[in-house]
Amino acid sequence: MVAETFLPSRVYVRDVAARDGLQNEPVTLSTEAKVELLLALAKAGISRLEVTSFVQPKVVPQLADAERLLEALPPLSGVQLAVLVPNRKGLERALPLQERFHQVTVFLSASESHNQRNLGRRIDESLKEATAVIERGRASGLRAEGVISTSFGCPYEGYVPPQRVIELAEALASAGASEISLADTVGMANPLQVQRLFSAVADRLGEGVELTAHFHNTRGQGLANVLAALQVGVASFESSLGEVGGCPVVEGATGNIATEDLVQLLQELGITTGVDLSALLEAGRRLEGLLGRPLTGHTLRAGPIRWDQPALAASGRAE
């Protein structure tokens, strides 16, 4: 017999395809196409969406329409909308539209080399900027998430001390972030490492801060890491429809875990997500058409698992 472990009964899924995914695509979608994508994801039951970034348009031209996108996106009842804000200048662009979204997301790396290449500054400088954005965003009535990139390893430095990640998480939470995301930016994490780091961060921050897992599937370990995170109580995940995405400053880095693969796994484990997998797959097929290429999500390619005995699917195992 395989020992059963505690798993959350409900998991929240944030799809980041419209931001983290599209910023790495050679094709720049129109604002109308992005709205179509976000509406399809919301229709499928995705209750958290990262919709765009207020980064400099010259740096990420794929997301240069941040203001137009928020203005064009109709109200989505029951859907939490997040925008990525790299600095105070980005926040000043975003705040006039704050009635159209709910959360600001800030980010920095746990390794100096990646932070320099990604943000062009030291970690301590990025933390200062992130703190200012969180505090101003919270004062304006917005929720705040802090993302720590390269939490599980750096492509330039290799090992990242867990204590550094823990200290950054604590600093972001102290600034007012109600959610901390530990990001496996280039797919270096393994399941045991995931359990140890999330457990350590949870012990330090306590129950008042939501922990989110952000895994990339660069080396094919994304879903194994999802299960590891679930087993230590993580109930919030970020993923990208069709596995679109990557890391613009790391050659060979592939996309986030596919949202449809994540939802398929959670469904097989009997965990509630509120997502209609069939509708999600339809959104994935539409995104393929918009991008003009096949996407790499496994469930999008193979289709959902179909059981002759539904009760076995709910339990995730055969007797």
Residue type, 17: A
247 has catalytic annotation: yes
Q: Decide if 134 contacts 104 (C-beta within 8 A).
A: yes
Query: CA 236 to CA 229: how far, in whole Å?
Result: 9
The partner residues of 82 in beta bridges, in order of sequence, read: 50, 103
Angle at 92 between CA 54 and CA 135, to 5 degrees: 100
Class of residue 9 by CB neighbours under 10 A (exposed 0-12, middle 13-18, buried 19+): exposed
What are phi and psi for residue 17, nearest 5 degrees?
-60, -40
Query: CA 52 to CA 284: how far, in whole Å?
Result: 18
Residue type, 250: V
What single DSSP character describes residue 99?
G
Residue type, 287: L
Backbone dihedral region for residue 158 (phi beyond 0: left; psi -120 to 50: alpha; all else: beta): left
Choose the catalytic residue: 247, 250, 253, 277.
Answer: 247
Active site residues per annotation: 247
